[in-house]
């Protein structure tokens, strides 16, 4: 068993059963005019982690380990968008409405794309997900079984929404989960800190946390 120095204690993993999941590093969460900004958020915090996420992705690729990307998005006819999600909050424009980068959070629209710097390579798994969690209504469970993954490293946005929801889903499905602390971000620094703290509390009740350097050192 290899190890990543982590909190609350070392994360044991087998390289051959470990994958990276990069959550929702899309223009819609990182650029003005996207979904995140429509909710009133300052998106600059998301932009700031892009180089770190890239370093993590590059490390997994260099080690020959799988990189999986997710995208929060909906069908153009909105048939997978529950009114409870569309009507949430008091946004300036809603999911499916036309914005400066196309229709918000709709598959195939320019704003829904993964940021150019973090674009998936041909052959990497890309999960389009209608929920906050990446397991709900997607092929992720089957994909992870197919590649034989048992340990999952997480990066992406936002820490307390889609990253944490997916980690909790993965934890309940028997995966050992670690989130890279500096390769995830929230629009609310206090929510990020709280999410990381609650993930690793109680003896890693939901998972482990480590820096990108610690992860890269562990998988090298």
Minimum Å gap between C-beta 78 and ligand TIU is: 16
Q: How many other CB atoms sit within 10 Å of the CB of residue 48?
A: 12
Mapping DSSP to helix (H, G, I), strand (E, B) and coil, where does residue 130 land? coil
As a whole number of angstroms, the distance between CA 177 and CA 5 comes to 14
**Of the candidates 123, 17, 40, 35, the residue with the CA atom closest to the CA atom of residue 71:** 35
Query: Does residue 162 carry a catalytic annotation?
Result: yes
**Tokens, residue 125:** 């798994």
**Of the candidates 45, 133, 78, 6, the residue with the CA atom closest to the CA atom of residue 53:** 45
Give 84: exposed, middle or buried? Use CB within 10 Å, 0-12, 13-18, 19+: exposed
Determine the interface stretch with ligand TIU among 50-58, 156-164, 175-183, 207-215 (rule: CB under 6 A): 156-164
Minimum Å gap between C-beta 101 and ligand TIU is: 16
Of the candidate residues 134, 153, 162, 167, the single one contacting ligand TIU (CB under 6 A)? 162
Residue with Cβ nearer ligand TIU (63 or 193): 193
Of the candidate residues 18, 52, 112, 158, the single one contacting ligand TIU (CB under 6 A)? 158
Per annotation, catalytic residue among 129, 132, 177, 182: 129
Query: Does residue 14 carry a catalytic annotation?
Result: no
Site residues for ligand TIU, 35-74, by CB under 6 A, read 39, 72
Per annotation, catalytic residue among 24, 28, 132, 177: 24
Query: Does residue 182 carry a catalytic annotation?
Result: no
Phi then psi for 88, rounded to 5 degrees? -65, 135
Q: By CB under 6 A, tell whether 161 contacts ligand TIU.
A: yes
Minimum Å gap between C-beta 105 and ligand TIU is: 9
As a whole number of angstroms, the distance between CA 84 and CA 114 comes to 25
| Residues near ligand TIU, by CB under 6 A | 24, 29, 39, 72, 132, 157-158, 161-162, 187
Active-site residues: which are they? 24, 129, 162
């Amino acid at each position: 068993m290899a190890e990543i120095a982590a909190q609350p204690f070392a994360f044991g993993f087998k390289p051959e059963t470990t994958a990276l999941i990069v959550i929702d590093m899309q223009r819609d969460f990182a650029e003005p005019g996207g979904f995140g900004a429509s909710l009133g958020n300052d998106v600059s915090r998301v932009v700031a982690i892009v180089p770190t996420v890239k370093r993590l992705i590059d490390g997994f690729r260099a080690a020959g380990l799988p990189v999986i990307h997710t995208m929060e998005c909906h069908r153009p006819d909105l048939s997978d968008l529950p009114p409870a999600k569309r009507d949430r909050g008091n946004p300036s424009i809603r999911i499916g409405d036309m914005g400066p980068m196309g229709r918000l959070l709709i598959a195939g629209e320019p704003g829904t794309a993964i940021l150019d710097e973090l674009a998936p390579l041909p052959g990497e798994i890309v999960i389009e997900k209608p929920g906050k969690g990446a397991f709900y209504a997607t092929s992720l469970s089957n994909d992870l079984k197919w590649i034989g993954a048992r340990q999952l490293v997480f990066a992406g946005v936002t820490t307390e929404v889609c990253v944490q929801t997916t980690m909790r889903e993965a934890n309940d499905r028997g995966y050992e989960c670690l989130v890279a602390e500096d390769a995830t971000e929230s629009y609310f620094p206090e929510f990020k800190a709280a999410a990381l703290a609650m993930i690793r509390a109680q003896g890693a009740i939901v998972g482990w946390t480590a820096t990108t350097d610690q992860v890269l050192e562990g998988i090298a």
